[in-house]
A and B are shown apart, each in its own frame.
Chain A
Amino acid sequence: MIRRIGSRLVQAPLILWAVYTITFVMVVSVPGNPFEHEGGRNLSPVIEMGLRQRYGMEDNWQFYWRYLTGLLHGDLGQSLHYRDWTCNQIVRHSLPVSAALGSLALLIALFAGVGLGVIGAVRRHTVWDYLTLGVAVVGISVPTFVIGAGLLILLAVWVRLFPPGGWGTPAQLVLPAVTLALPFMAYIARLTRLGMIDVLSSDFLRTARAKGLSESQVVLKHALRVAFLPVLSFLGPAAAAVLTGSFVIEKVFNVPGLGLHFVNGVINRDQMLILAAVTVYAGLIVLFNLLVDIAYTWLDPRISAEAI
């Protein structure tokens, strides 16, 4: 177990370095000049050189190493489009917003998804089961912006139960978090249901029932612990997808998160902001996968037994 986590710890900086390098190559291989504005006049070479010098971008090698050493010191660079903002400031303002939205969505997805999956598996071939499957199919197929738009029109424009967008109050958090959670909830419900159906017929549960445990204890204490493992390994990629899935949600509900800044960075060809956002995302995702690995070895007795 320690070896497994140790090897992941060694891999983590390598993955981050690879992500940074690939992103860098893509960012600098875009033809054209990042300092020229849409439809603006051409910059004179002298001015452009001065601007490049100011941002440490005279040539690509220098830019690559300077930005990398900056990253090691926690410096994400200076935004090219928002001239009076550093990328650190932008991230500091917008990351907490995305993180709050994402973690709330993940919590909703986890609890509702596991709940639905368990109900579907225990009450198999009943209305509850079909409801679970229906939610799962809709959640996986229908794009979140469609669901978000539907909720927005229904609960914010017609009924006016929730504010239609913005950020700052708890009420403004509800609709975006629920919308963002839905596809993940659907997938988790499907995984839990399948895992539970598998586990419920296994021998060790027969033993648990035979020793006189109540059905709810059997299901919630013994079966769920095993059926939860596939859900747990899904949580790593899910956390990554929640972060990027929130791009769309942030646009629908006008939430000032990091996703919106990344998308604007791409549209504005703000090379620094793109590098900063991708690095931050990759760091978070690597961290999350590591946490899931640790939780996995802790929950699954088979993995820790192997290592002994």
Chain B
Amino acid sequence: MTRTATTPALYDVAHEARRWSAFRRNRLAIASLVFLAAIVAACVLAAAWSIPASNDQHLDDARTPPTWLQPLGTDKLGRPLWARCLLGGLISLGVGLAAAAISVIIGTGWGAFAGLTGGRVDAIMMRLVDILYGLPYILLVILIKFAFERRLEGVFGAAAANVIILFLAIGAVSWLTMARVVRGQVLSLKAQPFVEAARAGGVSGAGIFWRHLLPNLIGPILVYATLTVPQAMLQESFLSFLGIGIHPPLPSWGNLAADGLEAINNVQSAWWLIVFPCTLLSATLLSLNFIGDGLRDAFDPSQSG
């Protein structure tokens, strides 16, 4: 059937505008957004220089403190830390974003299917989510990575396989909250008159989902996707810190921090090796969380505190 106007009943331009202005008034969130944009821009724009420089070893200049020539100092192999931090940031942010995207796809699909189908299927699917919630996801990430990395190496090469399996594994376990949120929204939307009207008009289940439910789900999905990015980055940094995430010589903020911690002892402390990666990682995660909280306060007032 053809439809001339596809205006979902809940969509309201004035309401939407009010939400954005509520977000814009949140100074902490806006400051975080500016900071994050600067970090992302630096990591992306400098990639052309940071990629070759990040593995450029000068053993004579190992562990030089920050100077004008080496603004962040050098590591134990004399590689410039600025390049390693920027490339590490690119990798950490990229893994976080890709993992969040995967978790959005799985979580939305799972939650929407459970909510739309209802009944016994819904109960079983959500009970499974409950059980998975209770299990330590980091174990699962490690196992997935362990099981599939070598298979991917044959297809993509070692470095690419390392990054790809990491975001696939993290994305595959971090969709649980998304599934719960989407299911809840679908359940409440399903009871709305406009969905009933569409069904009475003969729109198929898939059509109802794509044209009527999805536009109304974008808000909560966006909010929880923003909150998933720092979670995914946190997991990547944990794994890289433990030596089972991003493998050297490829840098990530997590494995740079691990290298930095190794360089701390009572005899000589190369403080820059730990301070810079840790500060960048923490500040980025903080700002992502502030942005996510700001979006949640503006778009989903029932969840704010």
Grouping DSSP codes into helix (H, G, I), strand (E, B) and loop, the B interface class, with mixed when no group exceeds half, is helix
Residue A23 contacts which of B143, B150, B254 (CB distance < 8 angstroms)? Answer: B143
Residues of A within 8 A of B151 (CB): 31
Q: Let me know if B99 is at the binding interface, CB within 8 A.
A: no
Give A109 to B117 CA distance when docked, in angstroms. 40
Number of chain A interface residues as a range:
35 or more
Q: Let me know if B139 is at the binding interface, CB within 8 A.
A: yes
Are A149 and B134 touching (Cβ within 8 A)?
no
Q: Let me know if B13 is at the binding interface, CB within 8 A.
A: no
Task: Tell me how far the C-beta of A96 lies from the nearest C-beta in chain B, rounded to whole angstroms.
Answer: 19
Pick from A66-74, A135-143, A220-228 the stretch touching chain B. Answer: A135-143
Residue A149 contacts which of B135, B148, B242, B264 (CB distance < 8 angstroms)? Answer: B264
Q: Let me know if B43 is at the binding interface, CB within 8 A.
A: no
Are A143 and B285 touching (Cβ within 8 A)?
yes
Are A267 and B286 touching (Cβ within 8 A)?
no
Pick from A55-63, A87-95, A203-211, A246-254 the stretch touching chain B. Answer: A246-254
A141-B230, A141-B289, A146-B281 known; A251 vs B242 contact (CB < 8 Å): yes
Residue A143 contacts which of B139, B146, B238, B305 (CB distance < 8 angstroms)? Answer: B238
Task: Tell me how far the C-beta of A4 lies from the nearest C-beta in chain B, rounded to whole angstroms.
Answer: 13
Q: Let me know if A263 is at the binding interface, CB within 8 A.
A: yes
Q: Let me know if B20 is at the binding interface, CB within 8 A.
A: no
Are A137 and B286 touching (Cβ within 8 A)?
yes
Residues of A within 8 A of B288 (CB): 141
A237-B134, A285-B135 known; A140 vs B241 contact (CB < 8 Å): no
Task: Tell me how far the C-beta of B210 lies from the nearest C-beta in chain A, rounded to whole angstroms.
Answer: 33
Give A255 to B282 CA distance when docked, in angstroms. 24
Pick from A78-86, A167-175, A190-198 the stretch touching chain B. Answer: A190-198
Task: Tell me how far the C-beta of A301 lies from the nearest C-beta in chain B, rounded to whole angstroms.
Answer: 23
Are B238 and A247 touching (Cβ within 8 A)?
yes
Task: Tell me how far the C-beta of A174 lies from the nearest C-beta in chain B, rounded to whole angstroms.
Answer: 19
Are A251 and B146 touching (Cβ within 8 A)?
no
Residue A31 contacts which of B139, B150, B244, B274 (CB distance < 8 angstroms)? Answer: B150
Give A153 to B293 CA distance when docked, in angstroms. 31
Give A141 to B279 CA distance when docked, in angstroms. 12
Residue B305 contacts which of A197, A252, A262 (CB distance < 8 angstroms)? Answer: A197
CB contacts under 8 Å to B, within A268-283, are 269, 274, 278, 281-282
Residue of A nearest to B153 (CB): A31
Residues of B within 8 A of A146 (CB): 257, 278, 281-282
Give A20 to B198 CA distance when docked, in angstroms. 46
Residue of B nearest to A148 (CB): B261
Are A26 and B150 touching (Cβ within 8 A)?
no
Are A263 and B244 touching (Cβ within 8 A)?
yes
A244-B139, A267-B244 known; A142 vs B146 contact (CB < 8 Å): no
Are A26 and B147 touching (Cβ within 8 A)?
yes
Q: Let me know if A201 is at the binding interface, CB within 8 A.
A: no
Give A31 to B254 CA distance when docked, in angstroms. 27
Residues of A within 8 A of B282 (CB): 141-143, 146
Give A48 to B79 CA distance when docked, in angstroms. 42
Are A263 and B147 touching (Cβ within 8 A)?
no
Residue B135 contacts which of A138, A141, A143, A240 (CB distance < 8 angstroms)? Answer: A240
Residues of B within 8 A of A190 (CB): 305
Residue of B nearest to A29 (CB): B147
A278-B143, A281-B139 known; A153 vs B134 contact (CB < 8 Å): no
Closest 3 pairs (CB-CB, A-B) = A26-B147, A244-B136, A146-B278
A-B contact pairs, 24 of them (CB 8 A): A19-B135, A22-B143, A23-B143, A30-B147, A137-B293, A141-B289, A146-B257, A146-B278, A146-B281, A149-B261, A149-B264, A149-B274, A150-B278, A152-B264, A153-B269, A193-B305, A237-B133, A240-B136, A243-B136, A263-B242, A263-B244, A266-B142, A281-B139, A285-B134
